[in-house]
Chain A
Amino acid sequence: MYDFEFKTFEEMTPDDYSRVGFMSGLEVHQQLLTEKKLFCRCPAGLYSNHYDAEILRHMRPTLSELGEYDGTALMEFKTKKDIIYRIHHDTVCTYEMDDTPPFQINDQALDIALEIAMLTNAKIVDEMHIARKQYLDGSIPTGFQRTAIVSVGGSIPYKDREIRLIQMSIEEDSCREASDIGHKRTYIADRLGMPLIETVTYPDMKTPTEVAEVNDIIRRLSRCTGKVRTGVGAGREDVNVSVTGGTRIEIKGVPSIKRIPLLTYNEAMRQWNLLRIREELHRRGITQDKFEYRIDDITKLLRKTYYQPISKAIEEGLFVKCVTLRGFKGILTWKTQTDTFFSKEISDRVRVIACLTSLPNIINSDSQENTLSTSAGLKIRKTVGASEEDTLVIVWGNQSDSEMGANEVVIRAREATIGVPSETRQALRDGTTGFERILPGPDRMYPDTDLPPKKITKERLDSISLNTVKPYWVYEKWFDEIRVPKDLRRDLAGSKFIRFFETCVKELKIEPKFAGIVLIQYPKRLKRKKLDIDLLTENDFRKVFELYSENKIVKDSIFSLLEKIIKNGGYSDELITEPCSGKALEDIYKSVKEELKSTKIIKEEKREKIIMGMMMYHLRSKVNGSEVYEYVKSRNFGK
């Protein structure tokens, strides 16, 4: 059944993905551009690694609204981590540290979320209920994230079909992780509480490339409002992947869309290969019920080993445990992802749950790597009663960590007989995924008793829709009609000036290409000159276009006028350079011609350039260059 073998990333075709039943959905997180945080009045968007104080907390699992404990919550509790928060007085108040109840939700943030929801034709909820979503990893000091559904359903166009949306929620961002070593995890709390939205799609994407492309659409859609944050960390995505017979696996916190294709490819391959491993185990007669193992303490046996990680551990008084997996021979070296093997699945669990974070944290008898000597291996096999067909996995740490580590080895190996365990996975740099935690379910949702439900009134929605943009794809169709050059389209459709661009074209009758250049390319050029282009307002542009329409300035003067506006801190009539009359052009030409007579032109073919340069010296911003050129050309370049 699982006889297909994954090809390299480049060789995989859409048919191959269809063969394995590749399915993927997205959870796209986007920070909103607000002044303040979501549930307190701390400033939003200030980041610094400097901190004034540290706070220590531990997390305990609690019951969900439906009276169940969540699997992830119990797993995190098992890890017994000290959670340290680094706080900066300027960006963190007593709310983020969970010492003050929440304040009312930030209306600016809610309006932005509603506006973006409207662009997808989603159903806006009538009454918003704020929920607590448990996170026991400590990334939020309360142990839960405040989150609420803003809209349900909706869709976005993709190729010739629609990608359906499940829901969109508004929520507070979590802390930034600074480190996670052993039993201590450290967070920086400045990002905590920043408003963001999460857009969740159905698993409608059928290849890794499609996932990235759809993600790009969602990102651009929110950006076209001009009311979301951009830059590092402002947009992050969780990607859900499954294959036929596999499980929905969430790859958390993918920092860049570019990395999605390779990550989803590797995750699909991992699931497929785990199913192949299951098939092999079943063939060997090892099922969930017939799975056999034993755990032994082998510290004494390894007193004299030369294998450095273990000899050092024993020297430090740590313990070494050996797990015997009956009939597993060779399984740990089965490939799961690119250059990654099944042993990594086990090592990850041991690292995260038993907190044995310095690698290597396990060694195994399937591996060809040089670890224990052959004689030591034989001695262990004999002592624990293992046969040639069994795999030995060795783990070391203090008493409780090594015990928990050995248990995790057993748990993960047993899961191999069942299939693909539900978990969330990290996006690793090499494009593979690594275990992060057990996948949380709906059991971790709990209503927020600190805040009442919030009615979303029709008046509020009406006033938002009056001032909203259209989805960028609507503009892009229009760009086709009015022939906006291709290189301008993407930026223009996502620009905060897109509505103004419409006004320029429809009301001020500016030529679309030129309006696009002024609104998009000029600011880019000015930015390269290290000018603060945020100082250019819609009103400044409007003034410039009006002057241009009324022939009060020439086209070629607009760039330098914008530059002057920025330097001046706003538009003023003194900044404009008035166009020259035909008489003035003639006068200048005469004087330039005189000057040329006294100059010896060595290379005659440069004459055009030289005379143009001399003319423009006097006429720049007063007459368009093209007109000057036509004039001197008609006079035969001063010959």
Chain B
Amino acid sequence: MNMSNPGILESKMEDKELYKGYKGQSLETLKKFKAMIWCDVEVITSDGDFIGIILPRSETADANHIVLKLRSGYNIGLAANKVNNIKINGRKEIQYKIPEKEFPYSPKKPRVKLFGTGGTIASRLDYRTGAVIPAFSPGELYGSVPELADICNLETEKLYGVFSENMGPEQWKGLAEAIGKEIEKGVQGIVIGHGTDTMHHTAAILSFMVQNSPVPIVMVGSQRSSDRPSSDAALNLMHSVKTAAESDIAEVMVCMFGPTSDSYGLLHQGTRLRKMHSSYRSTFRTIGDIPIAMVDRQKITPLRKDYSKRRNDKNVIINTAFEERVSIVYYYPNMKPDIIDSLIDNGYKGIIIAGTGLGHVNKPLYPSLQRAKDNNIAVYMTVQTLWGYVQMYVYDTGRDMMELGVVPTANMLPEVAYMKLCWALGQSNDLEEVKRIMLTPISHDITEREPSNGYLIYQGGIPEVEEFISKYRK
């Protein structure tokens, strides 16, 4: 790239926009006939003539086809090597834009702040990948979900625009601090738009970084992107905004569909939930307990009583300590000790093991666990069954492991234990202090008891389950 000649650079940039996604033969063909994207054209090919608009092409698609939007609205790909001529009849660049409308203000309604981090809840078409990319603005949101104005005065702020798998310590800290500032300003509730893949990770770390919040902090996303008519985004947004504005639950929560039907959402404790299906709408489940509440368009129905109540003060505690060198090891039979060794050798300070059953790993790992202890590395045990408690006293192997310094974490979920250990190690290198932090329940991350309805996975096919399903919309 010739940096000394900005003109060339500029025209190259422009080229890229005018031929977005095209390369190789298809790009040459377009250039030969001076046709660019958004040109209204008649393409003369050896197969016949086609009339339409040239569209951008996905960058991952091949170099041999030109995409044409026909008058009927359908798209087709034409082989570039069959093109004999392109007649250009005009050009009109398309701006894909959700209609923006200013969010109306009503002095009687509570003030809710919506933070955007990215994800499916507000997304739009992207030609680069052909997939959906995040988009976010208050006006856009009001343009597509005007019902929000009936609930509150909504302010929005786009903090990040990333897919949830790209969320990391920088974003978590930034988010916690932004929440603290909003509470200082006296907001009545906070909603955080977030991709669903790692929503339970972010919910967990926020539960530790933001404590004693006087107002609801509600995370929300969608499983079907908002560019489709059947999206769960709008209803999830309404539910979460209603919760933030009206509920008396001052906890870090996730608000997502209860059933797959458009009927109600569930408010899950930030430390007790997990994404359980790769694509279902009702993917989030509270594990080892019941959800805090149900929410629909009309009302919020608490299911538990032991949540923190909304207050009028601003006494929130923000603690964004974070140690990045922590890992989760998902144990499998035949695991070799070098897995643990490589973490030790790479300077990791903490390891969460997701063990089998009540919290076990095989014997060959013991020497490495001893090494970890000798290297002052914090090692904690969780269960990969997700439901249930670590119980290391039941079998000898468990006792052996505790001798090796492995600390059981009761019924803390593996991802939650991971986040908590990052947070604890961020505060102290003293393993005793770390242990005190880890084992002190902060936000239902460890609970004293698992209620008998805290584990309900009904098996399809069984007559009484089928009867239930036939009666209630899932």
Residues in chain A within 8 A of chain B (CB atoms): 51-67, 73, 89, 94, 97-101, 123, 125-129, 131-134, 136, 141-144, 147-149, 152-153, 166-167, 169, 200, 441-447, 449, 452-453, 455
Question: What A residues does B96 contact at CB under 8 A?
Answer: 63, 65-67
Q: Which 3 residue pairs across A and B have the least CB separation, nearest first?
A: A143-B229, A127-B77, A442-B73
Q: Smallest Cβ distance from B121 to chain A, in angstroms?
A: 13
Scoring B residues 73 to 104 as 1 if CB is less than 8 Å from chain A, else 0, what string do you get? Answer: 11111110010000000000011111000000
Question: What B residues does A147 contact at CB under 8 A?
Answer: 74
Question: What B residues does A51 contact at CB under 8 A?
Answer: 470
14 new A-B pairs (CB below 8 Å) besides A66-B96, A125-B77, A153-B48? A52-B470, A57-B230, A59-B230, A62-B226, A65-B69, A65-B96, A99-B260, A134-B229, A144-B228, A149-B72, A149-B74, A149-B76, A167-B70, A455-B77
> How far, in angstroms, from A97 to B279 measured CA to CA in the complex?
11
> How far, in angstroms, from A101 to B277 measured CA to CA in the complex?
12
Question: What A residues does B305 contact at CB under 8 A?
Answer: none
Scoring B residues 210 to 245 as 1 if CB is less than 8 Å from chain A, else 0, what string do you get? Answer: 000000000000011111111100110000000000
> How far, in angstroms, from A287 to B58 measured CA to CA in the complex?
49
B394 within 8 A of A: no
> How far, in angstroms, from A9 to B19 measured CA to CA in the complex?
56
Let me know if A67 and B470 touch, CB within 8 A.
no
Let me know if A129 and B230 touch, CB within 8 A.
no
The residue of chain A having its C-beta at the shortest distance from the C-beta of B48 within the complex is A123
Known: A55-B261, A56-B262. A128 touches B95 (CB 8 A): no
Within 8 A of A (CB), among B447-474: 460, 466, 469-470, 473-474
Within 8 A of A (CB), among B97-133: 97-98, 124-125, 130-132
Question: What A residues does B72 contact at CB under 8 A?
Answer: 149, 166-167, 200, 442, 445
B70 in complex: contacting residue of A126, A134, A152, A449, CB < 8 Å: A152
B71 within 8 A of A: yes
B234 in complex: contacting residue of A60, A166, A445, CB < 8 Å: A60
Question: What B residues does A447 contact at CB under 8 A?
Answer: 75, 125, 130
The residue of chain A having its C-beta at the shortest distance from the C-beta of B231 within the complex is A60
Question: What B residues does A134 contact at CB under 8 A?
Answer: 229
- Sampled A-B contacts (8; CB under 8 Å): A51-B470, A56-B473, A57-B230, A57-B261, A63-B124, A94-B279, A97-B260, A442-B72
Give the interface centre of B62, B82, B473 by most chain A CB atoms within 10 Å. Answer: B473
Question: What A residues does B130 contact at CB under 8 A?
Answer: 447, 449, 452
> How far, in angstroms, from A551 to B280 measured CA to CA in the complex?
66
Let me know if B473 and A141 touch, CB within 8 A.
no
Question: What B residues does A65 contact at CB under 8 A?
Answer: 69, 94, 96, 125
> How far, in angstroms, from A64 to B69 measured CA to CA in the complex?
13
B280 in complex: contacting residue of A61, A73, A99, A443, CB < 8 Å: A99
A52 in complex: contacting residue of B48, B132, B263, B466, CB < 8 Å: B466
What total of chain B residues lie within 8 Å of the partner, measured CB to CB? 59
Known: A52-B469, A152-B50. A136 touches B229 (CB 8 A): yes
Question: What B residues does A443 contact at CB under 8 A?
Answer: 73
Let me know if A66 and B470 touch, CB within 8 A.
no
A-B contact count (CB 8 A): 163
A66 in complex: contacting residue of B58, B61, B94, CB < 8 Å: B94
> How far, in angstroms, from A98 to B76 measured CA to CA in the complex?
25
Let me know if A62 and B74 touch, CB within 8 A.
no
Question: What B residues does A123 contact at CB under 8 A?
Answer: 47-48
Known: A65-B96, A101-B279. A142 touches B48 (CB 8 A): no
Known: A152-B70, A153-B48, A169-B74. A58 touches B262 (CB 8 A): yes
Question: What B residues does A167 contact at CB under 8 A?
Answer: 70, 72, 74
Let me know if A129 and B74 touch, CB within 8 A.
yes
> How far, in angstroms, from A231 to B416 measured CA to CA in the complex?
57
> How far, in angstroms, from A200 to B234 measured CA to CA in the complex?
36
Q: Smallest Cβ distance from B120 to chain A, in angstroms?
A: 11
The DSSP consensus for interface residues of chain B is loop
> How far, in angstroms, from A27 to B71 measured CA to CA in the complex?
16
Residues in chain B within 8 A of chain A (CB atoms): 47-48, 50, 58, 60-62, 65, 67, 69-79, 82, 94-98, 124-125, 130-132, 144, 223-231, 234-235, 259-263, 277-281, 460, 466, 469-470, 473-474
Give the interface centre of B69, B72, B97 by most chain A CB atoms within 10 Å. Answer: B72
The residue of chain A having its C-beta at the shortest distance from the C-beta of B230 within the complex is A143
> How far, in angstroms, from A101 to B280 measured CA to CA in the complex?
9
> How far, in angstroms, from A15 to B77 measured CA to CA in the complex?
43
Question: What B residues does A449 contact at CB under 8 A?
Answer: 125, 130-132, 225, 227
Question: What A residues does B279 contact at CB under 8 A?
Answer: 94, 99-101
Question: What A residues does B224 contact at CB under 8 A?
Answer: 98, 142
Question: What A residues does B225 contact at CB under 8 A?
Answer: 449
> How far, in angstroms, from A442 to B278 measured CA to CA in the complex?
32
Let me know if B230 and A142 touch, CB within 8 A.
yes
B61 in complex: contacting residue of A133, A153, A452, CB < 8 Å: A452
A56 in complex: contacting residue of B48, B132, B227, B261, CB < 8 Å: B261
Let me know if A57 and B262 touch, CB within 8 A.
yes
> How far, in angstroms, from A452 to B97 measured CA to CA in the complex?
23
> How far, in angstroms, from A65 to B230 measured CA to CA in the complex?
17
Question: What A residues does B259 contact at CB under 8 A?
Answer: 55
Q: Smallest Cβ distance from A240 to chain B, in angstroms?
A: 13
Let me know if B50 and A127 touch, CB within 8 A.
no
Let me know if A446 and B58 touch, CB within 8 A.
no
Question: What A residues does B71 contact at CB under 8 A?
Answer: 442
Question: What A residues does B234 contact at CB under 8 A?
Answer: 60
Let me know if A55 and B229 touch, CB within 8 A.
no
Give the interface centre of A55, A143, A148, A449 by most chain B CB atoms within 10 Å. Answer: A449
The residue of chain B having its C-beta at the shortest distance from the C-beta of A136 within the complex is B229
> How far, in angstroms, from A142 to B50 measured CA to CA in the complex?
30
The residue of chain A having its C-beta at the shortest distance from the C-beta of B469 within the complex is A53
> How far, in angstroms, from A212 to B90 measured CA to CA in the complex?
39
Let me know if B61 and A446 touch, CB within 8 A.
no
Let me know if B74 and A144 touch, CB within 8 A.
no
> How far, in angstroms, from A125 to B261 measured CA to CA in the complex?
38
Question: What A residues does B281 contact at CB under 8 A?
Answer: 99
Known: A53-B469, A129-B74, A453-B65. A142 touches B229 (CB 8 A): yes
> How far, in angstroms, from A144 to B227 measured CA to CA in the complex?
11
> How far, in angstroms, from A444 to B228 measured CA to CA in the complex?
11
> How far, in angstroms, from A67 to B99 measured CA to CA in the complex?
9
> How far, in angstroms, from A67 to B226 measured CA to CA in the complex?
14
A63 in complex: contacting residue of B76, B227, B261, B263, CB < 8 Å: B227
> How far, in angstroms, from A121 to B69 measured CA to CA in the complex?
22
Let me know if A152 and B469 touch, CB within 8 A.
no
Question: What A residues does B62 contact at CB under 8 A?
Answer: 455
B230 in complex: contacting residue of A89, A98, A128, A445, CB < 8 Å: A98
Q: Smallest Cβ distance from A200 to chain B, in angstroms?
A: 8
The residue of chain B having its C-beta at the shortest distance from the C-beta of A126 within the complex is B79
Question: What B residues does A67 contact at CB under 8 A?
Answer: 94-97
Q: Smallest Cβ distance from B350 to chain A, in angstroms?
A: 36
Q: Smallest Cβ distance from B156 to chain A, in angstroms?
A: 19
Question: What A residues does B227 contact at CB under 8 A?
Answer: 62-63, 446, 449
> How far, in angstroms, from A60 to B225 measured CA to CA in the complex?
12
The residue of chain B having its C-beta at the shortest distance from the C-beta of A449 within the complex is B131
> How far, in angstroms, from A58 to B65 measured CA to CA in the complex?
38
Question: What B residues does A133 contact at CB under 8 A?
Answer: 73
B229 in complex: contacting residue of A59, A166, A442, CB < 8 Å: A59
A445 in complex: contacting residue of B74, B97, B263, CB < 8 Å: B74
The residue of chain A having its C-beta at the shortest distance from the C-beta of B467 within the complex is A52
The residue of chain B having its C-beta at the shortest distance from the C-beta of A149 within the complex is B74
> How far, in angstroms, from A610 to B445 measured CA to CA in the complex?
99
Let me know if A55 and B74 touch, CB within 8 A.
no
Give the interface centre of A51, A73, A123, A452 by most chain B CB atoms within 10 Å. Answer: A123
Question: What B residues does A455 contact at CB under 8 A?
Answer: 62, 65, 77
Q: Smallest Cβ distance from B225 to chain A, in angstroms?
A: 8
Question: What B residues does A452 contact at CB under 8 A?
Answer: 58, 60-61, 130
Question: What B residues does A444 contact at CB under 8 A?
Answer: 73
Let me know if A127 and B79 touch, CB within 8 A.
yes
Let me know if B470 and A152 touch, CB within 8 A.
no
